[in-house]
Structure 1
Amino acid sequence: MSLKKKVVAGIAVTLSVMMGLAGCGGGNSATPKDDDSLMKVDVYDDLANYQGVQKGWFAKLVKDKFNLKLNYISPNVSGGGSTTFDTRSAAGNLGDIIITGAGNGRLNKLIRSKLVDDMTPYLNGMDSIKKYKNATDNLNKVAGQSSGVWGVPMSVSTKAPDQPSEGNEPVFGPYIRWDLYKKLGYPEIKNMDDFLDVLKQEQDLARKETGDNSIYAISLFKDWDGNMMNNIKQPICYYGYDEMGFVLAAVDGHDYQSVTQKDGMYDKTLAWFNKANQEGLVDPESSTQNFDTLTTKYKNGKVLFSFWSYLGPAQYNTTDHKKQGVGFMVAPLQNMKIVSYGATPNGTGSFIGLGSKARNKQRLVKFINWLYSNEGAYAMAGNVKGMNYDIKDGKPVLTDFGKKLQNDQSATVPKEFGGGSWSDGQPQLNFKSVNATDIDPTTGEDYSSTDWKSVIEEFNNSPLEQDWSGHMGGAKTTMEYLEKNNMLAVAPGAGYIQPDEDSQISTLRGSIKTEIVNDSWKAVFAKSDDEFQKIVDGMRTQTDGLGMKQVLDFDMKNAKDQDKARKAILKEYANREKNEGSSK
């Protein structure tokens, strides 16, 4: 499964089961008057990685504002797959609030089986939802509906679709321990072969300095494997490609490759990881550890290369480390063209909706509306006014507690804001209503504190960042460096949603992806070039015999349709801006 998605893998639900529920009620039937008492809300959430009742500061915020207690039902925690969805759907009540994907015909099925309700009767005064009418209308097209508000898409944005949705750090990037790179004399990194040489030198140096031979340049995990081995795909994103099923598609539309293509991007990257393993650079626990275990290793300085900005840098670059000149920074890989997901004016393929059997629907819609307000957007980005930030001279600044969080995200929240650790109290929805890097019109700055001018000046000017900047042309942030050097491949934010996949394709895909993932892991840990080649050649033969061409044709069409959607959203946004400009 790709990173961006840990999101919903399209879950097939048979039409016969869903349509059998059509008489179970729901729709816009009359609901009892809201009694204002504390209400436990079942949130069916395909994106959540947490099950149970929300805790901490976000729980207190929601209780104080709406007298709601959020109880998460998370398939990711309860075993994955479609079991939870199918069981609750068959019972006629998926949840009071529903967070899932609209793709593969899912939203259409939810509407027809009366598991999700139209919010229209409850939208009086709900200006934040109405603000994103273009997004909800687009969701209707996906669901085949001519009217109604059946859900509000995730990550809606007012930015142009060809503008990066990330802040100062992209999602993807070759992040290395910069302090070790400095000690090596800043060797040139022309390509991935050079990069591997640098990682080998870093590992040797780190082990020599610490005497700890459990430090590895590279460490992997299996949790997010889907159509391919997830970790193999990540460096491919450094060269402008992203996945669509079994297709690796250049985000500018110039190239489309099968994941099993001989000498293709996946093939070459798989060989790169095998070479790293043969040189002793890959953690031998990679095939048995999970993401949480790996996160702890980064926090403890046990891994030297991070695929993503939110892993190595987020876990290791504490204020104390940065003051010592120690931490992860993006490497100057000269031929990279890093994928950046563009802002999504119409949101993404995931949405939040109203369960048809919910009580007190007006209150729930008020809560959903709040998620899309300025205050809600700040909260979903982890910021609460008075708790960890305030406004000074019209600009957001961190409070003393907010500054403490820069070094320790497990710091204890003040009692008046709910107590407990800040990290434990974060919203467990795993659903970003508004793009966190969108601009709050009242301050002119992002909802995300990492991009505030005041934060950059105080916390992004450590000896670590100063040294990095001095060797990266004076750039103050990774995004600035990439933009200045034409090293970004922005995928316009179309929010493309894949069509329904028939059962035959799904069955074939299941067998093929199992073969690809299993053989990829074997190939990484092959002990010789000959063994490696035998494994990948066998993978191609096996997947061809399992019906690869049929599934690949389906994925290839989707990849090309996605490119059309990206071009269309650019045109749509330009026309929208033109019309809004002429009406002023």
Structure 2
Amino acid sequence: MGQRRKISLRRIAGMITLVACVAMVGCSNKGENQPTSTNSPPASTSPSEKPSKEPITLKFSSDGPVFVGQFPSGVQTDEIAMEIAKQTGVSLDIDRVNDDKKFNLEMASGELPDIILVTNKDHLNQLIKGNQIIPLDDLLTTNGPDILKELPNRIKISKKFWSADTNKLYALPGLASQFAPQERYESPGYLIRWDYYKELGFPEVNNMDDLLNMLKAMQDKHPTNDQGQKTYGISPYFADFFTYRTFDNAFNRLTANNFISLNPETGEPSGGFFDTDNAFWKGTDFYFKANQLGILDPDSFVHKFENLQEKTKNGLVLFSTHHWLGTNAANELLAAKDPLSGYVGLPYPKGQSMTTDAVSPDGNETRLWVISKNSKHPERAMDLINYILTSEGSRLINDGFEGEQWELDNGKPKVIDADKRNDAVYAEKTGMGKYWNLSGAVAGYNDPKYNVPIAYGQSKEELIKSLSPLNKDYSSHYGVSYPGELVDKRVKSGEINFIFINSAMSYGLDMNTPDDIKRLDAKIADYLARMQTKLILAKSQDEYKSIQKTVLDELKAMEGQKSVDYWMNNYKNAAKIWTEVKS
């Protein structure tokens, strides 16, 4: 997966979260990759021979951290990079960056590389208004035939939303995705120790109080890890906004600025921090109760992100909401001792809602390909973009080579030796998994040639084949073939809901926030960051209620309603545009 950027609670005001439609059935924007009708079996997907062009090397970089793993700077020489060069005649000289500092310097000096992958719309607007990137309309006609054929919606959407109101094509979005069956649906989720849960006799969890009481029983039974260090039922990361997002997403809502909630189907806003049913108040109440039970890690207010990951990895935390908080690393260590021990996703209580990673059927606004005005070979840059963003290049990046990493079985792609992909030496040699963030499409996005998810390992057959002993045990207990099937069945029966987060929901937001609102939001965020500690550590429910009243009064005194009104109107306008995009 791509790198995750940490976002401080003190930066809530500047954060625009992805928002969504509640189900794929209710979202008519299905992307542009419907299956190709044919009466004959699919032909081999080995890249077709293209007219040879003079080899050339182009400089490529980004305005932020988009490169996965230990991505080296320089000309790429792995097998996938060499195949891209063979098909397009273009070798990439990549300058890996971990923030936007170098990009800002290059933009100020006018010394930008040939191709830039833009992750920030503010940067895109600066590039357009500063005349530092070129329109791509004419280049599409001469050097982008596959984009014109496969991605007409991306072109229309880009002109409308990513052109600084010029209605020209400056940027082409990559990283398109669609929903596909998942092995586990656990991130986000309620991740608990399965072996400990089994010891407790699989107690029912029908609400959030049941969850806390179960974690209390688990901590009482396992007060220390194998090294004798104290365990805690729960250890949030209070420096980050995502800590509270669960209390919207699990309750059929999505979180936006200043704890405004969004209807996941229509995008209509409600709530705000004056509404005591919002995610902040639900969250602080939950963590207050956890502290009262003695299961809240007192370091939660001060530990760093890396500290939390290490604690979870070492078995000091019994509950988590995301794999990248340390449960994946913990499961690797635990499996070596006991294959049936580790973290799994607790089934959600009836009536709650699950979410999955954001889907972007027509491309992701955080992966916008642009060509610099400095480039002496813009047509060759378009050759490269045309290949990478369309199905042939995306298939290569996601799945590798037919006959080596995958093969056809009854006309459908099948992964060859999936375990090899986890080997670092093999990945470095082949480039498998390396260019994920640069691909035109990923994950469940439909491969139009075979009518399967473009990441071939995501078919149901592959999911079942790849199950660990832990997940087989989990599936056996619930009577399903793989953990994700339990979620699918419960959604179908109406026991729980599922929210499909579609990034297009945020397209209509006005990103030009007035300076007075920026200052007010920063002041509010700073205040809530301080007061959350007092709320959660209150000695009694009465004290919690008293502090809550103080917070609401103080927010009113600092004109917090002005901020709520601004964002309410902004999101209402975005909801109208979302309706247009869907249609």
Normalized against structure 1, the TM-score is what?
0.77
Query: Within the alignment, does 1:557 sit opposite 2:572 as a pair?
Result: no
C-alpha contact (below 8 Å) 2:443/2:458 kept by paired residues: no
Picking from 363, 369, 376, the partner of 2:380 is 363
Partner of 1:30: none
Secondary structure at 2:110's aligned position in 1? coil
Instruction: Quote the residue 1:444 is aligned against.
Output: 451
Matching of residues 47-446 of structure 1 within 5 Å:
53-54=72-73, 61-62=80-81, 65=85, 66-75=90-99, 86-93=104-111, 95-101=113-119, 103=121, 107-123=124-140, 124-130=142-148, 131-142=150-161, 143-145=163-165, 147-157=167-177, 164=179, 167-170=182-185, 171-207=187-223, 210=226, 212-221=228-237, 225=240, 229-246=241-258, 247-253=260-266, 256-309=270-323, 311=325, 314-318=328-332, 321=335, 324-334=339-349, 335-340=351-356, 343-350=359-366, 351-378=368-395, 381=398, 383-385=399-401, 389-393=405-409, 394-400=411-417, 402-405=418-421, 409=422, 411-413=424-426, 416-417=429-430, 426-427=434-435, 430=437, 433-446=440-453
Which residue identity is paired with 1:437?
Answer: G
CA deviation map 1:286-317 (0-9, x unaligned): 33433344334333333322212555554344
| Number of equivalences | 520
Whole-Å Cα distance in 1 between the matches of residues 538 and 68 of structure 2?
A: 33
Q: Would the aligned equivalents of 1:491 and 1:566 in 2 still touch at CA under 8 Å?
A: no
Unaligned 5+ residue runs, structure 2? 16-52
Which residue does 2:23 correspond to in 1? none
Task: Give CA-to-partner distance per residue, 1:358-385, whole Å, 9 cap, x none.
Answer: 343333333333332335434655x433
Cα pair distance change 1:38/1:55, threshold 3 Å: closer
- Structure 2 distance, partners of 1:387, 1:544, is 65
Rounded Cα–Cα distance in structure 2 between residues aligned with 1:196 and 1:273: 9
- Structure 1: state its 5+ residue gaps: 13-33, 79-83, 573-584
Which residue identity is paired with 2:498? L
Q: 1:559 to 1:398 in 2, by over 3 A?
A: same
Alignment of 1:464-543 (within 5 A): 464-472=470-478, 474=480, 476-478=482-484, 479-486=487-494, 487-491=497-501, 494-497=504-507, 498-499=509-510, 500-526=512-538, 528-529=540-541, 532-543=544-555
- Say if 1:276 and 1:376 are closer, same or farther in 2 by CA, change over 3 A: farther
Contact 1:388 1:398 in 2 (8 A): no
How far apart in 1 are the matches of 2:439 and 2:301? 31
**CA distance in 1: counterparts of 2:13 and 2:107, whole angstroms:** 15
- Taking structure 2 as the reference length, the TM-score comes to 0.77
1:437, distance to aligned residue in structure 2 (A): 0.8
> In structure 2, how many angstroms separate the alpha carbons of the residues matched to 1:359 and 1:483?
53
**Displacement, 1:51?**
9.8
Q: Could you tell me which amino acid in structure 2 is paired with residue 443 of structure 1? A: Y
- CA drift of 1:452 comes to 2.7
The percentage of aligned residue pairs carrying the same residue is 22
Q: Secondary structure at the match of 1:248?
A: strand
Larger RCO (CA under 8 A, 6+ residues apart):
2
What amino acid is the match of 1:139? S
Q: Return the offset for 1:93.
A: 4.2
Tell me: CA distance 1:483–1:310, structure 2 relative to 1, closer, same or farther (3 Å): farther
Judged with a 3 Å threshold, the aligned counterparts in structure 2 of structure 1 residues 218 and 319 are, in CA distance, closer, same or farther, namely closer
Q: Distance in 2 between matches of 1:525 and 1:367?
A: 55
Moved more, 126-135 or 462-471: 462-471
**C-alpha spacing 1:496/1:4, structure 2 compared with 1 (3 Å):** farther
Q: What is the Cα deviation at residue 168 of structure 1?
A: 4.0
Contact 1:325 1:463 in 2 (8 A): yes
Q: CA deviation at 1:63?
A: 5.3
SS at match of 2:300: coil
Q: Once the 2 structures are TM-superposed, how far is the Cα of residue 175 of structure 1 from its aligned partner?
A: 2.1
Between stretches 451-460 and 504-513, larger displacement belongs to 451-460
- Displacement of 1:503 in angstroms is 1.9
Could you say what secondary structure the match of 2:348 adopts?
Answer: coil
- 2:170 and 2:70 map into 1 onto residues whose CA distance is 25
Q: CA deviation at 1:231?
A: 0.7
What is the root-mean-square deviation in Å for CA atoms of aligned residues?
Answer: 3.8
The 2-side partners of 1:368 and 1:194 are apart by 51
The CA deviation string for residues 93-123 of structure 1, in whole angstroms up to 9 with x for no partner, is 455433335656x544431211222223433
Q: Which amino acid aligns with 1:539?
A: V
Distance 1:42 1:330, change over 3 A: closer
How big is the shift at 1:245?
A: 1.0
Q: For 2:569, what is the secondary structure of its paired residue?
A: helix
Distance 1:127 1:316 in 2: 47
Which secondary structure state, in structure 2, belongs to the residue aligned with residue 148 of structure 1? coil
Q: Secondary structure at the match of 1:41?
A: strand
CA distance 1:214–1:371, change in 2 (3 Å): farther
Give the distance between the partners of 2:396 and 2:334, measured in 1 at CA. 26
Contact 2:64 2:119 in 1 (8 A): no
| SS across alignment from 2:262 | strand
Query: CA 1:201/1:523 → structure 2, altered by over 3 Å: closer, same or farther?
Result: same
Distance in 2 (alpha carbons) for counterparts of 1:200 and 1:297: 18
> Helix, strand or coil: the match of 2:299?
coil
SS of the residue 2:81 aligns to: helix
Distance 2:70 2:344 in 1: 34
Residue 347 of structure 2 aligns with an amino acid whose one-letter code is P
What is the one-letter code of the residue matched to 1:119?
A: L
Alignment check: 8 A CA contact 1:396 1:454 kept: no
